[in-house]
Structure 1
Amino acid sequence: MVVALQAPSMTYGGRVRCTATKINCQCGMRRKKKIVGGTETLVNEFPMMAGVVDVASGAGIFCGGTIITNYHVVTAAHCPIGHSISNLAILVGDHNISTGVDSIYAALHRVASMKIHESYSTTTNLNDIAVMRTATEIIFSSGVGPVCLPFKYLGASFVGIELEATGWGSTDFGDPKSSVLLKVGLPVIDPGQCSKTYANFAATQICTFAAGKDTCQSDSGGPLFYTDYYNGLVYLVGIVSYGMACATNDPSKPIVNYRYILTAAHCVQNIPSSQRLQALVGDQDYKTDNDTPYSQIYDIESIVMHENYNQDTRDNDIAVLKTTVDMQWTRGVGPVCLPFNYWYYDFNKLQVDVAGWGTTSYGGPTSSTLRRVTLDVIANADCGKAQYVTNQKLCTYTPGKDTCQYDSGGPLYLRGVQRMYTIGIVSYGGACAASTPSVSTRITAYLNWIQSKTTDATYCVK
């Protein structure tokens, strides 16, 4: 090796003392043995695999990550949103997260700091990458080590190549997370095919698809690995960012729920027959016929109220309506996401959007146009002025803003990563915009109930 030294000005010789530091370039090692015909990995087969944990929630791993140095783990930028950095930790060297005894290399490292890409966009998912630094050193061993970064593959598209995704995520939408580390092979597809499904797909992203195979809930932030055929090393070429429902049958035809509408039980408790109900969708001003081309009315086939609904306390104030025919999705009509990924959130101090055609003042006329208001979610402990508040309910309060009459049954929307989630159903409150908080049914408490009453439906889950 030859090193040339250049001085900034004329010199007449002298000594230069140099210190060479050995850099550990061991990366991308994996155990070769695989479980034949299965999807479970060998214990520590992927030493670079990590899990991102919120230690305060007690919910375990909520996102994947990949070790790149003794102090750094790369994940998706959207993963830490809504989490306090003081509660975040990185789990390394583990396999079965329910036992804690299957791997001698398992260790938990607190997160000291993190860097989210400065151009990350929550609306387009572009630059969905973040680096977390651990407070303590990640000790490398045969069960824990760094992945190789793909410097040698700059410009490679990987189209037609099968990558491996690993994670502790669920194996189907709405299911519990896996206790063991799983892997799945996913081929990279042509960007042109992917852009038919995702209008914002960009050259900085990579798209995978295999019928019946996919990443799923809680796999976000996890790796897409490429194993070099010649040297056997594992390279990180992608980070799981977003998608439609888990393992859809076609990348351009995501499976969604076409038949069901959520509302409050008190809205329909006195309706004698579903034949008396209709659902208006895609409308803006219901007094005109030409303000939107997407307006459509659907007859209701059935009403399912929660069997434990209490009209006095408004406990379990939730109902599901089923239309007689499929609703047609258009640019102006489509499904909301249910908050499967947020079942352990309390949403305290977050803002939600509420939409409706209700009155704008107590006793006033209803609005002919759809209106929305942004409200602050408050902790249930701070909701003391409202009555009958339980863990299955959610409170909102913003001075001078509120839902009002005829907004009941409407949604509380949480803006997520390129998606909107419904986290509440307007239930009850005091006078409009009064000093008393308003109370909504907390959707995360009823996800299992919703699925049990809509067994013939599937949902957008991310």
Structure 2
Amino acid sequence: MALAMTTVGLRVFTLALYLHLFSAIHGAKDDRIDIADVSGRYVELQCPRGDHRVDPDWTKDDLSIFVSKAHTESRLFHLHSGNLLLVDTKESDSGTYTCTRVNGESKHNDVDIQNSALEDVCGIQTLAPIRSRIFGGEGSRKGEWPWMAMIRRMDTGEICGGSLMNHYWVVTSALCVHSFSLTPGNTKVHLGKINRQVGESGEVVVDVEKIVVYPEYDRQTIDGDVALIRLKTIVQFNEAISPICLPPVKTAEKMIEDRKAGWATGWGRTESHPFSSDLRKVKLKVTRQSTCVSSHDEHLITSNMFCADSDNYGRDTCRGDGGGPFVRQIGTRWYLLGIISWGLDCASTKPSVFTRVDKFHDWIKEVQRSAFSCHDASPTETTVGEIITSPISSDECGWIDNGKSTPDNWPWMVQIVRQNSRYAYPSMCNGVLINKSWIVSLASCLQVWIPDQLKVKFTDLASPQDNAREYTVERTQVHPDYNELTRENDVVLLKLVESVEHTDSIKPACLLQPNISADELENEAQGFVTGVGNVHSLEQPIDDTVQTIPFAVNTTESCNRIFYGGVTESMFCAKTTSATDDACGGFRGSPMVTQISGRWFALGLVSWGHMCGVYPVVFSKLHTYHEWMAGVVSEP
């Protein structure tokens, strides 16, 4: 998508920011892409480029789906490019979405939504892997497999592998539990560990509260080889410790059926030692199920099992690796497909056997549900989203449809226009309602206009623009330290002549508290810009329909590398995460909002930028003006 340059470096954006971060869209070959994410967020589904005036046809799993332009009763809506935005994602949204243009060109989106409350941390490697010299495998380093657990019987030193699934639960092998007679009293779980023999910085050792073996586990055939370990204390996630993702069942089936390679990890026997001192990894390829069965003709291979082996002879899982994970990557995330179960001689011609985790998803969820108690809650939530009542914060702020987060209505969104304008596009600036009488917008947009020349339109995104509610302006207050050259302190407050009544269509956005650090802001790194403007170029006419564009906050360091130190403490920058759309012309003053604990918070207003579609956009950081805004609003 093309980005154009403005003469004063201004860009107008509308951002609607969704918390937790990012929707991972991973390009694949030809006309098919993989999209993997967790529930409760959004994904953008790709469509071939074509005439934006003609809506493409969309199907899910070959069945037609209805996408409303108004998007008032759906979680699906069209972007300007023809792409589809699916919000508030659920596990049931997983499937193959196909977009077909009028010319017959199509693109397939394989969507995998994991039902998760782990706040976007599962399956992420925190450090890049390194090569070094499981049996014939390679060494690993801290952060490469942060979900890896070492399960140790304390009196005998026997160990098994396991995988951390969340703050309290580890999944492992029932064979391991029975073979070593593991009990809560004799077992500890080590997390964040690489070297088996010594204590390490960042390592956490956790007592076990209980062990649950799959009730239909068969000790003779090793069918149903799965067990869950409940930890006694909560595990805090960090760079060395984080959970693995469990893919939806259909996704797991597809990942096993395509027989691509994954990785197994463990501290088991190597070529020269009964156990490895350091955590090792081996790359193994899933075999055909028929090959798995024929290779183990003297043993029963059930539908709860699959096999994997190496293309290179001499690489395999071995004794001591049991219970460990077999994982595969989609995009930047890793998913648990199997549990190391059993095999014959290490690195033999017969492939190793793994438990199919997807066959036990329902049982895993049920065990965790039945054991759930009040102390199972995730670690205390950050106070980033805390609401403190003030002249510019109230308990009514940031709610959409009684808390339901859908992009069909941003009730704090306003357009500020010049009355009796002679221009074809009289909209001058966007803004945000912060209480019943006050709007915050850009000083660079409005400083030269007197209140009598302005009117405010509360825009219902599902309704035509000419049906928007209009209010007159009593007075404006530009920040006293606004610098027109640097765009420092680029904010203005507008007081309405008539206070508005809060309804489902009109209510204020929340503002972050003034003590939020840059690091905390960057943690709230995803959402949307919304507004009336052009999503491709400043040179094109402004579209009079409201656009919604996903954005992500950049780090301050990266912003200043791009803008040569021009991003000050009262600013931040963010870049579109859409494959085709950006906020180009007509978006000045548009809010970037993010959702925290159900509420929507305005992080900033689009202030300036360069080359639409190439560089990030710079925003006025609203919470830095909290004290000034509260003072102005409190004046009689």
Compute the TM-score of the two structures, normalised by the length of structure 1: 0.50
Structure (1 or 2) with the greater helix fraction: 2
Higher relative CO (Cα under 8 Å, sequence separation at least 6) belongs to 2
Kindly indicate which of the two structures has a greater share of residues assigned to strand.
Answer: 2
